[in-house]
Structure 1
Amino acid sequence: MDFQLSEDQRAIEQMADSLFSDNCDDDYLRQWDSSGEALMAPLWALCLETGLHALAIPEGEGGSGLGMTELMLVLQAQGRSLAQVPLWRHQLAAATLAHFALGDAAQLAARAARGEALLSLSLDSLSAAHGIELQASACAEGWQVNGQVAALALGGQAQAALVPVRVEDQVRLLLLDLDAPAVRRVAGVLSHGEAITDVQVEGLLVSADRVLPAPALAWLEPRAIAALAALQLGVSAEHIRRTVDYVGERQQFDRRIGSFQAVQMSMADAHIALETLRSTLWQLCYRLDAGLPAPSEALATAYLACEAGHRIGHVAQHVHGGIGVDLSYPIHRFLYWSRALGIALGGAAACLERLGDWLSDNDKLGWKYDLEEHQAL
C-alpha cells in the first residue's frame, strides 16, 4: 500500500499551509477578536483567489472536482491557524447541490464555485437533544416550511443554507433561502468566535426542488464529519506542538516541567489520541473518495475526534497551569475550537451511541477488511 501523497496533493497542502500561516498568526487573531467581523474577509478573499473554496465542487460546476483527501489537507492547515473562513461548509453545500439538486437550486452550485454566492450548512439538529425543529408539509406551491434552525454558521452572511428538515416520516435536506421574507434571523457569536444565527421560519413557501432527494443527506453527513474531524486534527496537532514547546521551556523546582514523568505520560497520551484520529480520518477519506460505503467509519471518526479534542485540550490546559486561562495568551483559543468542533460533531457519547446502534444492526465490523468490496480484491 502506498500512503504517500501525490505531487498535486502535496502542492495543495503546501499552498494551504503557507496561506494560513502567513495570514493568520497570533497577532492577527488578537486584532480580529476585537474587530466585530463575522469572518476573516481578507483571508476568505485569498481562498477565493487560490481556488481553495471550490476544491470539492465538481468540475462541471466550475470547481476543481477533487476529493475529501485534498479538502482534508486544507482543513488541517486551517485548523492549525484557527482561521475563521467557511471553507468546508461552503463547498460541501455546493457539492451536494451539484450532485442532487435540480432546476434553479442546482445553478447555485456554479455561483458558489465562482465566489458569487456564499453557502452554509448545518447538520447539528441531527444530534441535538430537541431534534429537528424544521418541518415541511406539502402544499400547492411545493412545500410550506415552519420551525427554526439554531446556531447556523454565518447565517447572517450566507445567501442560502442546507439544513435538515422533517418531511412526513423522513429527514431530508432543505435548501433554505436566508433572504426570504418569511425567514427571521437573530445573530450571535460562539465562544471560539464563529458567527452564527438563529433562524426562525414561518410560513415559507418553497418549490418542490428545494427539498433534496433522500440520498443527499446520506451522502453529505459522512463528508461533513470528515471535514470537522480534519479541522480537529489540525487544531489538536498545533495544540500539542505549542504545549510541547511550553513544557520544554517552563521551569519548576529548578527543572523543566517537560522532564517530569507525569507530564511526559500525559503528553504521550495526547499524541496517541491525535494519531488514532489521524489514521481513522485517512481511512474515512479514502473510502469516501473511492465511492465505498462508510457509515461506521464516519461514526467512529466522529467519536475519536470528540475524544481527541477533549483529551488533548484537557492535558494542554492542565500542564499550562495558570497561564492557560489567561486570555492574553493564545493557548485558550485551541481549547475553544476543540469544544466547538466536538459540539458540532454531536459529542462523544452521542456518536458512540449511534455507532453502537449501527453495530447492533450489522454483523460485520466496519474497520475489518471482510466487506464485499474487499473480498473482490
Structure 2
Amino acid sequence: MNFELTKEQQMIRDMVRAFAEKEVKPKADHVDRTAEFPLDTFVQMGQLGLLGIPFPEKYGGSGGDTLSYAIAVEEIGKACGSTGLSYAAAVSLGASPIFYFGTEQQKQTYLVPLAKGETLASFGLTEPNAGSDAGGTRTKAVLDGDEYVINGEKCWITNAGYAKTVTVTAVTGKDSRGKNIISALIVPTNSNGFKITSPYEKMGVRGSNTSELILEDVRVPKENVLGDPTGGFKQFLYTLDGGRISIGALAVGIAQAAYEKALSYAKERTQFGQSIAKFQAIQFKLADMAMEIELARNMVYKAAWLKDNGKPFTKEAAFAKLFASEAGFRACNQAIQIHGGYGYMREYEVERYLRDMKLMEIGEGTSEIQRLIIARQIGC
C-alpha cells in the first residue's frame, strides 16, 4: 500500500499548513485561556473550502477524499487542538451523516451550505445515561401526523452552540424482537422547545464549543428523518468509524506539535556544559516520540485509504484512533518531561498539548471501547 501523496494532497497539506501557521496558531493560547470559540477562523476555513474537502463539488464541496481531509485535520490540530477538534466534528459528525445517508433533498437543503462553510452542524448522540452504551438512548421521537415530537436530552455535543442544525438520535419504536428502533432526525436549532446551553468547564480543547441539549416537545417534519427511519443505529456506527479517523489525525497533529517543541528545546537547553539533546536519556525519549508519531500517522492514512477505496475500515479506524491517541498522550507527557519545570508552565505550551490530547482517548469511543471493537473484529 503506497502512501505517497498525490500532487493534490500535497497542495492541500501545504495550503492548510500555511493557513494554520498564519491564522490558527497565533490564536491558540488565547482560545485556550478564554475558552472562546474561534468563529472568525471557521469563516476563513469555509472561504478556503476546508469544510467541504471530502464532499463532491455538486454539493458545494471540494471533491477531495478522506485522506486529504485527515491531512487537513492534522495540520489544523497541530496549530490548535480546540480548532482542530471543532473542525473534525463539523465535517465528520456534522456534515458527513447527511452526505452518506440523507435524501437528495436533505443534501441540497442542509449539506450544501455546510460544505461551503456557510454554517455548521452537530451530531447529537451522547446522553447522560448513554455514553459508551449508545444503544441505551432514551431520547424519544413520536410520530404525530406529519411531524415527529422529540423529547430528551443530549450532553457533550461539539459545536452545537454555533450550529444551525443538529442530527439527533432518538428511539422511534420497537422492532419485531422488541428492541428499540433508533432513528436520526435533522433538527433546526431554532426549533421551539430546543434549548442549547454550554455549561461545561473543560480540562482541555477549551475553545471547542461543547453543549448540552434539552428537547421538550420539539416538532420536526417527518421528512427530516435522515434516510432510513430504522437505520439510525447503523448510521451512527458508520459515522463514528469515519470520525475515529479524524480523531486519530488530530492526535497525530497535537503529538507532532509537542514533539517539535521538545526537539527544539532539547537542542537549545544546556546542562553540564552541553545541550540536553546530547544525553542518551533525552535522545531515547525523542526517538520513541518520532517513531510512534510516524506509526500513528501511517495507521490513520491506511484507514483513510481503505475508506476512500470502499473497503472495510472499522478495525483499522479503531486501530488508528486507539494507537494515535495513546501514543500521542505519551509524546505530550514526554515533551513536558524534556522541558522539566518549564514544561509545567503555560507559556511553553506543551502542558496545553497534554490537556488537549487527553480527550482523544475519550471522545468518539474511549480507548476501552476501541479495544472492544478490535476484539470483535478479530473474532473474539
TM range (shorter): 0.7 to 0.9
Name the structure 2 match of 1:139: 143
Higher RCO, Cα 8 Å, sep 6+? 2
- Structure 1 residue 104, shift from structure 2 partner: 5.5
Structure 2 residue identity aligned to 1:63: G
Q: Distance in 2 between matches of 1:49 and 1:9?
A: 19
For residues 348-359 of structure 1, the aligned pairs below 5 Å read 348-359=367-378
Could you tell me which residue of structure 1 aligns to residue 23 of structure 2? 23
- Render the CA deviation track for 1:275-317: whole Å, top value 9, x for unaligned: 2211211110111000111111111112112211221122112
Q: TM-score, normalised by structure 2?
A: 0.86
Residue 98 of structure 1 aligns to which amino acid in structure 2?
F
Point out where structure 2 has 5 or more consecutive residues left out of the alignment. 175-179
State the partner residue of 1:364.
none
Could you tell me which of 180, 205, 208 is aligned with 2:222? Answer: 208
Give aligned pairs, total.
359
Q: Name the stretch that deviates more: 85-94 or 144-153.
A: 85-94
Specify whether residues 319 and 30 from structure 1 end up closer, same or farther in structure 2 by C-alpha distance, changes over 3 A only: same
Q: Superposed, which structure 2 residues align to 1:185-196 within 5 Å?
A: 185-187=196-198, 188-190=200-202, 191-193=204-206, 194-196=208-210
The within-5 A match list for 1:32-181 is 32-33=31-32, 37-41=36-40, 43-82=41-80, 84=83, 86-92=86-92, 93-102=94-103, 105-106=106-107, 107-121=109-123, 128-129=131-132, 131=134, 132-140=136-144, 141-167=146-172, 168=174, 169-181=180-192
**2:270 partner amino acid:** Q
Q: Go from structure 1 to structure 2 and tell me whether the alpha carbon gap of 1:290 and 1:209 turns closer, same or farther (over 3 Å shift).
A: same
1:92-129 CA distance string (max 9 Å, x none): 33232133223753311112233333212355569825
Relative distance call for 1:53 and 1:249 in structure 2 (3 A) is same
Give the 3 Å change call, closer, same or farther, for CA 130–38 of structure 1 in structure 2: same
CA–CA separation in structure 2 for the residues paired with 1:155 and 1:49: 21
- Residues 16/134 of structure 1: CA separation in 2 closer, same or farther (3 Å cut): farther
Paired amino acid for 1:117: T
The C-alpha deviation readout for 1:315-354, integer Å capped at 9, x for no partner, is: 1122222211212222222112211222213332221122
The ranges of structure 1 where at least 4 consecutive aligned residues each deviate by more than 4 angstroms after the TM superposition are 33-36, 122-127, 129-134
1:199 maps onto 2:204 in alignment: no
Bigger Cα displacement from structure 2, 241-250 vs 202-211: 202-211
- Structure 2 partner of 1:320: 339
Greater Cα offset, 254-263 or 150-159: 254-263
Judged with a 3 Å threshold, the aligned counterparts in structure 2 of structure 1 residues 282 and 34 are, in CA distance, closer, same or farther, namely closer
Distance 2:333 2:130 in 1: 24
How far apart, CA to CA, are the structure 2 residues paired with 1:317 and 1:49? 36
User: What amino acid maps onto 1:6 in structure 2?
Assistant: T
Aligned partner of 1:56: which letter?
A: P
In structure 1, distance between residues paired with 2:124 and 2:266:
38
Does the Cα contact within 8 Å between 1:133 and 1:147 map onto a contact in 2?
A: no
- CA displacement, residues 64-116 of structure 1 (integer Å, 9 cap, x when unaligned): 22210110111111011116264332233323213322375331111223333
Q: Which runs of 5+ in 1 are unaligned?
A: 362-377
On the 8 A contact 1:124/1:344 being kept in 2, the answer is: no
Q: CA deviation at 1:230?
A: 0.9
Contact 1:287 1:293 in 2 (8 A): yes
Task: Tell whether the 8 Å contact from 2:143 to 2:222 is kept in structure 1 after alignment.
Answer: no
1:176 to partner: Cα distance: 2.9
Secondary structure of residue in 2 paired with 1:242: helix
Answer yes or no: is the 8 Å Cα contact 1:189–1:196 preserved in 2: no
CA deviations over 1:220-270 (Å, ceiling 9, x no partner): 222111111111111111111111111222223334322232222222222
* Corresponding residue number in structure 2 for 1:375: none
Q: Which residue of 2 aligns with 1:225?
A: 244
Q: For residues 157 and 134 of structure 1, what CA distance do their matches in structure 2 show?
A: 25
Q: Write the distance in 1 (CA, Å) between the matches of 2:88 and 2:143.
A: 33
